[in-house]
């Protein structure tokens, strides 16, 4: 079973969709006039203000060959650790621990494990990857620092669609920001040179302990003819709770080496 690997690696796959949405450059605005800089600042201001998050997740993933539902316990210590514990039919199947400098996981069915830094993952995925990007993706934030780029916006799909004035050479990126609470409705990365796409949609926001949080995340990744869909449903979200993040690879597990 590759559930843990799919959930972790899928979040980082960039891709392209040649039919990627042709957006309408409408001059219409929402309510009072907004500038791209103001929209960006309002989104940045919604960053999680709590130090820790613990939640139970229902994760369903579908590929051309597999369809599976698993339960995941998620623990995040802001800017420090992302810990996941995946179970199927009540049995532990995988565990992962991610820090700003290291990614580790093991799978019980295949009896394999992986350890590496983000440099290795960048070589494997062909794109820059960081801990903060993973963290932001799980929390409904833009995976890139909006302060590092100048943006313009148009009104699209009832949201502020932020577009960099100068797109990256490797991929295009789009952020749909909700005009009511300024969290993300959707973010999308499209490769120019590869036939790949990563689209992440955030739905059913709820106000929990004064934090606006997405209760459902839908991830769609495409590469050539291959497509993977992951649906994450958050349950029992608790902030600022003390917790442990145990991680030890069982004896006899074979280490996966990415070349």
pLDDT digits (tens, 9 = 90+) for 77-134: 999 999 999 998 889 999 999 999 998 989 998 999 988 887 765 655 555 678 888 8
Rg over alpha carbons for the chain, rounded to the nearest Å, is 18
Token duo for residue 3: 């559930």
Query: If pLDDT is split at 50, 70 and 90, which confidence band does 257 have?
Result: confident
pLDDT digits (tens, 9 = 90+) for 155-203: 998 999 999 988 877 778 899 999 999 999 999 988 767 777 889 999 9
Q: Domain limits of the chain? A: 32-241
The C-alpha atoms of residue 85 and residue 96 are separated, in whole angstroms, by: 7
User: What architecture is domain 32-241?
Assistant: Clam (2.50)
Evaluate if residue 231 carries a pLDDT over 90.
Answer: yes
Strands (DSSP E) along 34-139, which ranges? Answer: 52-62, 67-77, 81-88, 91-98, 103-107, 112-116
| Paired sense of beta strands 171-177 and 159-164, if any | antiparallel
Residue 231's DSSP bridge partners are 60, 218
């Amino acid at each position: 079973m590759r559930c843990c690997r799919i959930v972790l690696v899928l979040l980082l796959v960039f891709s392209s969709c040649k039919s990627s949405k042709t957006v309408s450059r409408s001059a219409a605005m929402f309510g009072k006039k907004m500038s791209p800089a103001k929209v960006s600042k309002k989104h940045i201001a919604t960053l999680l203000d709590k130090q820790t998050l613990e939640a139970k997740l229902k994760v369903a993933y579908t590929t051309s060959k597999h369809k599976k539902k698993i339960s995941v316990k998620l623990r995040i210590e802001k800017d420090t650790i992302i810990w996941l514990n995946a179970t199927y039919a009540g049995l532990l199947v995988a565990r992962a621990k991610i820090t700003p400098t290291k990614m580790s996981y093991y799978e019980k069915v295949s009896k394999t494990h992986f350890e590496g830094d983000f440099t290795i993952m960048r070589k494997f995925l062909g794109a820059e990857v960081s801990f903060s990007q993973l963290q932001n993706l799980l929390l409904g934030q833009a995976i890139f620092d909006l302060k590092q780029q100048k943006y313009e916006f148009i009104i699209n799909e009832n949201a502020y669609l932020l577009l960099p004035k100068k797109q990256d050479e490797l991929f295009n990126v789009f952020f749909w920001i909700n005009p009511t609470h300024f969290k993300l409705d959707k973010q999308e990365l499209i490769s120019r040179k590869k036939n790949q796409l990563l689209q992440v949609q955030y739905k059913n926001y709820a106000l929990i302990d004064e934090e606006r949080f997405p209760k459902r995340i839908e991830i769609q990744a495409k590469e050539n003819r291959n497509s993977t869909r992951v649906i994450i449903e958050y349950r029992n979200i608790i902030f600022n709770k003390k917790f442990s993040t145990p991680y030890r690879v069982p004896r006899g597990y074979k280490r996966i080496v990415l070349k």
